[in-house]
Amino acid sequence: MPSIADKLAALLSNVRRPGDFYAKGVTELRTPRLEVLGVGPLALPLLAAQAEQLINVAERAPYGRGGETLVDTTVRRTWQIGADQIQIDGSQWARMLTAIAAKAAQGLGVTEPVAAELYKLLIYDEGSHFVSHRDTEKSPGMFATLLITLPSLHNGGDLLVRHKGREVRLEMRCEDPSEVAFAAFYADCVHEVLPVSSGYRMVLVYNLLRQGGGRAPGPPNHDEAQAGLEALLLRWSTGKAAPDDDSPEKLVFPLEHAYTSAELSFATLKGADAAAGAVLTAAVARAGCDLHVALLTIEESGSAEYAAQMRPSRWRSGSGTYDEEFEIGEILDSSRMLSGWARPDGSSASFGCLPFDDAELCPADALADMEPDEQHFQEATGNEGASFERTYSRAALVLWPQERRLAVLNQGGLPVTLPYLGELTRRWAAGDQDQESPLWQEAHQLAGHMLRTWQKEPFYPRQVDESSGAKMLGLMTRLRDTEHAESILADIIATGGHGKNDNETVQLALGLFAAPRAAKWLETIVAANVEICPCSCADLLARRTRVGAIADSLAKAGKALLLALPSDTARLSQVAAPWQLQKIDAGFVVDSVSALSRIDAALADSAVDHLLVWPKTFDMDAVILPAVRQMVQQAGAGSMAALDRLRAACLNHLHARVAIPLEAPVDWTRTSTTGCQCVSCRALSRFLADPEQQQWVFKANELDRQHVVDTVRSGRCDVDCKTDKRGRPYSLLCLKNQASYERCAAQRQQDLADLARLAVRG
């Protein structure tokens, strides 16, 4: 059974002739020499004084009723001057008139040559009008009327044209005096000139004539195709609501002609493309669908192979490579996107880049014979084989049911939907903030689509920005959309991995809920993430305690943090890969102890027990001591019993270290921790152990010299290394220093400062 895409393509294949019952346009005026008998040359824009002169030599324009020709200003009030009283010439006028006639014919769907025959000059003063009427055939071969409004200051006088139940209103004036507006319509169309409200309107009336014989042109008749399209699209749009619907979310109809991204619009479509655009524009309006024109781009890359007749030496000896030297191998990466959106009314749409697939193409093989716009091959380099990159570009008509617009937008993923959701939220927040408003409802529906297709991001400990989940949670918080906020907390934040940069947003989101509910979410998030993200969880708990949350409601979250405190680092590697684990730092201790102390002193005391039992995980110098420094600086921190215990442990550690005598080296003996027993490293060890030798010259090849340098660095030996490039092989000059003593001296100064700082309780 044919798919919706194939059916649409079949219907549009019969729509080949562009055009409509009317045409309109604006073009640059190539000022003619216009002269009227009895008035003389006219200035453009038309002057009021000359308009009065024209009226003085004109006659009231009549109208036809049956076989009669009547003058009745209630039906037609305007002034006319016959073609025999008018002379128009100039070097550019004939060329401009030919171009206008050609554009009008194209807009009317006429492909054969046409000619424009001057009929009359009409002058409309204030109040002038013409009620609904049809033009009669004034010359053999006439099939349409062409109106050209010359520059004149006036308001009103719009033209209404009707045909088969359709009506258009054409504004027949230009703000720029260097332009002229024109309109054309088939002779059998009913049309009406609305009253001129001020000024004078001057119009040249031409008969459009077919230049060959045969049947007179008529408006393109796409009624049957349009009716078929309306029925097809209506079934599609209404059927999308069915739970078992498997039709595509959108349809993509590639166009025949080539268009640049800058010129792509409905107004620039050509030939059969214009016909398809016109008939679809009419059909989608009644079928509840949206229609756009967009740029279709396909990018592919992959492996390439040398052509059978090629030898690698051919390109090595030349200055470059040639496409004919390669053949496409395997396509490894492919991207298919739609971008550069425009609506039928000429406005643009900010949908970004949306993907498409074969099921959405009309028909499915529409791109089978498409040639690439660009194709490049790259010769093999090193371990990499030959490769290729190529790009295809095409314009396409894209349509979808209006009710599925957000689902289509969601196909673009978070790079498209998050900015769009953010803009909806901003506009809603700037308005009345009514949760029944269309903006709120649209944001709520889009969030639902996003969450149904959400792909979880891999957690990375060194996260520097908010995660996408936190960004969306922030938008739901601004919207006060508790339903989707809870979904994000449950399915994204509490499913493994979040960083500190998410916590401000999570904290604000918890404010949407009553205290018991917020506490439950906090417990869930901490319990789910604490083993992989202990620092983030401790930070979140600390934030929650600082905003005055009820301590009793946070007890379960505090216990979850306590139970999951890291212990043996070897056991952590069983929980997750090393790159997934957050590094324990001083901030973790500060947040954990501070938060637990605010919740329950007993929990904080148990946490201190744990911290002090696992010194390899919670190193005294790298973690505990910096944390205590921070906490003693915090207002009121000195009163915490848990802090007093940590301070006491730090003081004991510092007292023990400052008790160790600190003496500068008395000779050139230096500690040897090289470990390596190769010939070079044994020589290095002898040099380090010699109390009288300060310098050692190691003459060797580069690999051996570098090995000695690496050994010195890894063993933190008190040796400076420098390469002497005189002679061959080069020499490595090794000079002993007292870096270890200097480090100990600096540590002693820091220890004494810490003892003085920590000995005083806040």
Nearest to 173 by CA among 198, 156, 195: 156
Residue 323 C-alpha from the chain's centroid: 34
Given a cut of 50, the residues of the chain with pLDDT beneath it are 310-321, 579, 636-638
DSSP for 211-257? SS-SSPP-----HHHHHHHHHHHHHHHHHTTSTT--S-S-EEEE-SS
Which of 375, 409, 443 is the last residue before a domain boundary? 409
Q: Do 489 and 630 fall within a single domain?
A: no
Q: Do 262 and 312 fall within a single domain?
A: yes
Q: Do 438 and 480 fall within a single domain?
A: yes
Which of 210, 235, 252 is the last residue before a domain boundary? 210
In a domain, 4, yes or no: no
Q: Do 55 and 200 fall within a single domain?
A: yes
Q: Partners of 639 in the beta sheet?
A: none
Instruction: Identify the pLDDT of residue 317.
Output: 37
- Which are the contacts of 97, defined by CB distance < 8 A and separation ≥ 6? 116
Q: Tell me phi and psi for residue 117, to 5 degrees.
A: -110, 120
In a domain, 12, yes or no: no
Continuous segment of H or E residues that includes residue 304: strand 289-306
Continuous segment of H or E residues that includes residue 388: strand 387-401
In a domain, 494, yes or no: yes
Neighbours of 521 (CB within 10 A): 21
Q: Partners of 179 in the beta sheet?
A: 28
Instruction: Specify the 3-state DSSP secondary structure of 276.
Output: helix
In a domain, 6, yes or no: no
CA distances from 367 to 48, 328, 392, 678 (A): 59, 18, 10, 67
Name the residue range of residue 719's domain.
679-737
Q: In terms of DSSP bridges, do strands 719-724 and 695-699 run parallel, antiparallel, or are they unpaired? A: unpaired
Instruction: Identify the pLDDT of residue 180.
Output: 92
In a domain, 673, yes or no: no
pLDDT digits (tens, 9 = 90+) for 26-70: 998 888 899 999 999 999 999 999 999 999 999 999 987 777 888
Does residue 243 have a cis peptide bond before it, meaning omega lies within 30 degrees of 0?
Answer: no
Q: Tell me phi and psi for residue 312, to 5 degrees.
A: -55, -30
- Which are the contacts of 577, defined by CB distance < 8 A and separation ≥ 6? none
CA distances from 271 to 22, 255, 258, 261, 522 (A): 16, 10, 12, 18, 63
Q: Do 200 and 228 fall within a single domain?
A: no
- Residues 662 and 73: their CA atoms lie apart, in Å, by 117
Three state DSSP letters for 507-572: HHHHCCCCHHHHHHHHHHHHHHHCCCCHHHHHHHHHHHHHCCCCHHHHHHHHHHHHHCCCCCHHHH
Q: Partners of 327 in the beta sheet?
A: 305
CATH number at residue 53: 2.60.120
CA distances from 29 to 90, 199, 704 (A): 12, 20, 85
Q: Do 61 and 171 fall within a single domain?
A: yes
Q: Is the dihedral of CA 743, 745, 746, 747 positive or negative?
A: positive
In a domain, 262, yes or no: yes
Q: Do 376 and 238 fall within a single domain?
A: yes
Neighbours of 517 (CB within 10 A): 14
- Residues 181 and 173: their CA atoms lie apart, in Å, by 6
- Residues 354 and 413: their CA atoms lie apart, in Å, by 8
- Residues 375 and 626: their CA atoms lie apart, in Å, by 58
Neighbours of 547 (CB within 10 A): 10
Burial (0-12, 13-18, 19+ Cβ within 10 Å), 326: buried
- Residues 128 and 613: their CA atoms lie apart, in Å, by 99
Instruction: Specify the 3-state DSSP secondary structure of 504.
Output: helix
Using a cut of 0.85, tell me whether the model's pTM lies above it: no
Instruction: Identify the pLDDT of residue 195.
Output: 96
DSSP for 307-338? -TT--HHHHHHSSS--GGGEEEEEEEEEEEEE
- Residues 341 and 544: their CA atoms lie apart, in Å, by 45
In a domain, 355, yes or no: yes
CATH number at residue 714: 3.30.1370
Q: Do 188 and 163 fall within a single domain?
A: yes
Three-point CA angle 321, 323, 325, nearest 5°: 70
Return the amino acid letter for 148: I
The secondary structure of residue 620, as a DSSP letter, is I
Q: Do 476 and 518 fall within a single domain?
A: no
Instruction: Specify the 3-state DSSP secondary structure of 686.
Output: helix
- Residues 669 and 260: their CA atoms lie apart, in Å, by 78
Return the amino acid letter for 173: R
Task: State the alpha helices, DSSP H only, in 65-120.
Answer: 93-108
Neighbours of 611 (CB within 10 A): 26
Which of 155, 179, 210 is the last residue before a domain boundary? 210
Tokens (6 digits) for 97: 């008139």
Query: 507 and 543 in contact (C-beta within 8 Å)?
Result: yes
Q: Do 405 and 418 fall within a single domain?
A: no
The secondary structure of residue 658, as a DSSP letter, is H
Total structural domains in the chain? 5
Query: 196 and 154 in contact (C-beta within 8 Å)?
Result: yes
Burial (0-12, 13-18, 19+ Cβ within 10 Å), 347: exposed
- Residues 75 and 63: their CA atoms lie apart, in Å, by 8
Q: Is the dihedral of CA 91, 96, 97, 99 positive or negative?
A: positive
- Residues 285 and 154: their CA atoms lie apart, in Å, by 34
Continuous segment of H or E residues that includes residue 119: strand 114-124
Continuous segment of H or E residues that includes residue 292: strand 289-306
Instruction: Identify the pLDDT of residue 378.
Output: 85
In a domain, 9, yes or no: no
Nearest to 34 by CA among 26, 49, 46, 22: 46
Q: Do 428 and 398 fall within a single domain?
A: no
Q: Partners of 735 in the beta sheet?
A: 695, 720
Q: Partners of 161 in the beta sheet?
A: 168, 191
Q: Do 284 and 145 fall within a single domain?
A: no
Neighbours of 686 (CB within 10 A): 12
Query: 180 and 195 in contact (C-beta within 8 Å)?
Result: no
Q: In terms of DSSP bridges, do strands 114-124 and 142-150 run parallel, antiparallel, or are they unpaired? A: unpaired
